[in-house]
Amino acid sequence: MNALAQTSFQLPNQTAFYRGKVRDVYTVGDKLIMVASDRISAFDHILPKPIPYKGQVLNQIAAHFLRSTEDICPNWLLDTPDPNVAIGFACTPFKVEMVIRGYLAGHAARVYAKGGRSLCGVALSEGLKENDRLPSPIITPTTKAAVGHDEDISREDILAKGIVSEADYVELERLTHALFQRGTEMAAAQGLILVDTKYEFGKTVDGRIVVIDEIHTPDSSRYFYTEGYVERQERGEKQRQLSKEFVREWLIAHGFQGLEGQLMPIMPDTFVAETSERYIELYENITGKTFEKADTENILERIEQNILRSL
């Protein structure tokens, strides 16, 4: 299977190019052209092997949810001319990511297991176990690092350092809770639990706050299956989940958590194929649609031609 590791297009009137962990971003006039590659990252490191169809899955799930939440908050998306491409308008991003958690999972569970009872200035109750539902969703922001690790940060520090104004931050909190509630409802309709997720916001030239990047994808979110959740918690078993947490767990089991001096293990082809199928599974479960694999024989040519036709 062909996979999209990266792109290097020279588009008409292109003025800038940026390669993120997953997306290649081209600036043409006042528009951003985001190409969702098949790269996969964990612990803020890009893994050596791309995952076939992962970019298509992310791009199409993100578009699905952006269009389903426009009534809550406008977003940057204008068009999706290719399964791996999203085109939208450029804006100024806020320098924080709004992480919201409904359950004690992932990073929060790891902090808790080490004795931490506060995350980003938010107190955590005693007596919780991994994957328990929290009394109410909590927002645990992170800084948005250009390179390296994003860092946990509290609401108080964000305001004290002037990273976001208080008025804007209050609105970001409101939108984060509202989007999470919608995502939770949409997941429940598909037999899933939206465990946690993150949102990125920006401001347009006329001062509007909009959602940017992806939302409710397996790269930015964690999902459990609703069926059997309670029974697994009662028995102390791992939850069945749809996210890239299983990739993080594989890396941890092979001695890698992104720490200095650790060597990145190479995923075997069998695990790459399994990861691809897990992404497709999530697409079909969360959207309720059958995944249609795009033609990947000449994937770079296909993407470039579809972009050019849309300009």
Contact status, residue 187 vs residue 196, Cβ threshold 8 Å: no
CATH of 93-242, one of 3.60.21.10, 3.30.470.20, 3.40.50.700, 2.170.120.20: 3.30.470.20
CATH 3.30.200.20: does it fit domain 14-91+270-310?
A: yes
For the cut 90, the answer to whether the pLDDT of residue 150 exceeds it is no
Contact status, residue 200 vs residue 98, Cβ threshold 8 Å: yes
Q: In this structure, what token pair is assigned to residue 298?
A: 């000449």
For the cut 80, the answer to whether the pLDDT of residue 145 exceeds it is no
pLDDT of residue 288: 93
Q: How confident is the model at residue 287 (pLDDT cuts 50, 70, 90)?
A: very high
pLDDT of residue 52: 97
pLDDT of residue 294: 97
For the cut 60, the answer to whether the pLDDT of residue 155 exceeds it is yes
For the cut 70, the answer to whether the pLDDT of residue 41 exceeds it is yes
Cβ-in-10-Å burial (0-12, 13-18, 19+) of 13 comes to exposed
Q: In the chain, what are the domain boundaries? A: 14-91+270-310, 93-242
Tens of pLDDT along 83-129? Answer: 999 999 999 999 999 999 999 999 999 999 999 999 999 999 999 99
For the cut 90, the answer to whether the pLDDT of residue 281 exceeds it is no
Mean pLDDT of the chain, nearest integer: 94
Tens of pLDDT along 255-276? Answer: 999 999 999 999 999 999 999 9
Contact status, residue 194 vs residue 179, Cβ threshold 8 Å: no
